Amino acid sequence: MDSSIAQKTWELENNILTVETPDPSSDSIFYYDEAAQAKFQQEKPWANDHHYFKRVKISALALLKMVVHARSGGTIEVMGLMQGKTDGDAIIVMDAFALPVEGTETRVNAQADAYEYMVDYSQTNKQAGRLENVVGWYHSHPGYGCWLSGIDVSTQMLNQQFQEPFLAVVIDPTRTVSAGKVEIGAFRTYPEGYKPTDDPISEYQTIPLNKIEDFGVHCKQYYPLDITYFKSSLDCHLLDLLWNKYWVNTLSSSPLLGNGDYVAGQISDLAEKLEQAENQLAHSRIGPLGPPRKKEESQLAKITRDSAKITVEQVHGLMSQVIKDILFNSVRQSNRSHNEQSGPEPMVEA
């Protein structure tokens, strides 16, 4: 009698525990079931439904590797491949690796150069115990947003013909650092000639002028997928502990210093767009414009949004600086005499 009560209490407690910390059995996502994957490959449910895959799950490791690789390229586009598997209508990305090619937007199929590398790498990986196959490719768009350019669209369409299931991921490392959150997008293209029946509302992002044509021409040819992230229980544990050492970096990061060039570029781009908008407005003066175009925002409204975004990022950066100043520099206030208090009010600790 006693023991069953004790067991029930213990089970209850354990259940509570397992809800809070990720259950080790949830690591089942790491298990690669070869038979199930092969079966899925043969069934090809995506062949009939062009909108079949809707979600992407990216592992913590893959994300970290991709972002670090993208950032290490600086202003040069870099690319790599992702390995993983499928799960119903979701594509799961377990790992990523870099390819030794310098991506330029003019190369139609940069992967041709890297085939040997890819084969070698996949072979060694299989030996080392990573059994997943390549499920997609990623590349970076440093500073100009997460979308597929014309070349990217044609590359992806080719991939989706011959290497299904395949996914395209784009990362913007510059915007990641500037905004303080990861800028990433996952896409799949529609086959040639297919028109999507509904217009998916995608999140607005600002595109620099020199790329905006490329974006506009092709933006209807692909659709974005939802991205979620996952990590193993050990990862969770380690990341929690990592925070104990990490908080120093968070406090000491200075986004303003790191991204000065990017912000300057954004502002000048905004200035050009303003000039364009001015011309547009001057020509479309008076008279009833016909049925009001509710869906398309005017150029000016878009510019307003862009400028707000730049400002918000800048202000966040400044806030960090001010906080650091108060924390570490305000000792001097007690030394200074009251006559000398010339600093702006918000910075001075009373």
Output 213 or 278, the one with its CB closest to another protein: 278
Binding mask 227-246 for another protein (x = CB under 8 A): x-x-xxxxxxxxxxxxxxxx
Q: In the window 307-326, what residues touch another protein (CB under 8 A)?
A: 307-308, 310-312, 314-323, 325
Output 17 or 217, the one with its CB closest to another protein: 17
Does residue 37 belong to the site contacting another protein (CB under 8 A)? no
Cβ(111)–Cβ(118) below 8 Å = yes
The stretch among 152-160, 181-189, 207-215, 217-225 that binds another protein (CB under 8 A) is 181-189
H or E, element range at 93: strand 90-102
Q: Residue 294 corresponds to which tokens in the numbers above?
A: 């509710």
Amino acid, res. 142: P
The single residue among 56, 63, 92, 167 that binds another protein, judged by CB under 8 A, is 63
Does residue 93 belong to the site contacting another protein (CB under 8 A)? no
Q: In the window 123-162, what residues touch another protein (CB under 8 A)?
A: 124-125, 127-131
Helix axes 260-283, 299-329, angle to 10 degrees: 150
On the 0-12 / 13-18 / 19+ scale of CB atoms within 10 A, 163 is middle
Does residue 216 belong to the site contacting another protein (CB under 8 A)? no
CB of 28 to another protein, least distance (A): 4
CB of 193 to another protein, least distance (A): 31
Q: Cα-Cα-Cα-Cα dihedral of 236, 240, 242, 247, to 10°? A: 140
Nearest Cα to Cα of residue 153 among 81, 225, 104, 221: 221
CB of 249 to another protein, least distance (A): 5
Residues binding another protein: number (CB under 8 A) = 116
Nearest Cα to Cα of residue 169 among 85, 107, 86, 81: 81
Does residue 16 belong to the site contacting another protein (CB under 8 A)? no
